[in-house]
Amino acid sequence: MHKIAIIEDDVAISSMYKMKLSGCGYDVKTAFNGAEGLELIKEFKPDLVLLDIRMPVMTGDKMLEKVRESDWGGDLRVIVLTNISRDEAPMSLRLLGIDRYIVKAHHTPSEVVKVVQEICR
């Protein structure tokens, strides 16, 4: 069973993706800001992270930067799942090795699940 961490400050969105992915057989845990996300990733050791960018306490790009600096986070698979267009995204994301960049408003939850399934294969 693949483990997925959802790092998303919107509780409704986080809960919806957790329900959809759990229903597909994934082990899913959530965090609601970058600092919580960093701790979750260290403890849970997910196979894949769905990561929002704009969050309180620590933004997604800063959290991912810290993950990539660690000896355990270099190969972590990451899907950025945000409502920020690629043009508005922090430049640092391009250097942090993400697998996909998905704008939430342009994709249905089912489409996001298909991307997760593709990456987890």
Q: What is the pLDDT of residues 53-69, one digit of tens each?
A: 888 898 888 999 899 88
Contacts of 33 (CB under 8 A, 6+ apart): 7, 9, 55, 56, 57, 58
Percent of the chain having pLDDT more than 70? 92
Q: Domain range for residue 28?
A: 3-120
Which pLDDT score, from 0 to 100, does residue 74 have? 81
What's the domain count of the chain?
A: 1
Burial of 49 (0-12, 13-18, 19+ CB in 10 A): buried
Which pLDDT score, from 0 to 100, does residue 82 have? 86
Q: What is the mean pLDDT of residues 38-64?
A: 92
Contacts of 102 (CB under 8 A, 6+ apart): 79, 80, 81, 82, 112, 115
Mean pLDDT score of the chain: 90
Which string of DSSP letters, residue by residue, matches 78-121? EEEEESS-GGGS-GGGGGS--SEEEEGGGS-HHHHHHHHHHHH-
Binned at pLDDT 50, 70 and 90, residue 90 comes out as low
Contact status, residue 116 vs residue 48, Cβ threshold 8 Å:
yes
Which CATH number fits the domain that encloses residue 54? 3.40.50.2300
Binned at pLDDT 50, 70 and 90, residue 16 comes out as very high
Contact status, residue 47 vs residue 82, Cβ threshold 8 Å:
no
Binned at pLDDT 50, 70 and 90, residue 93 comes out as low
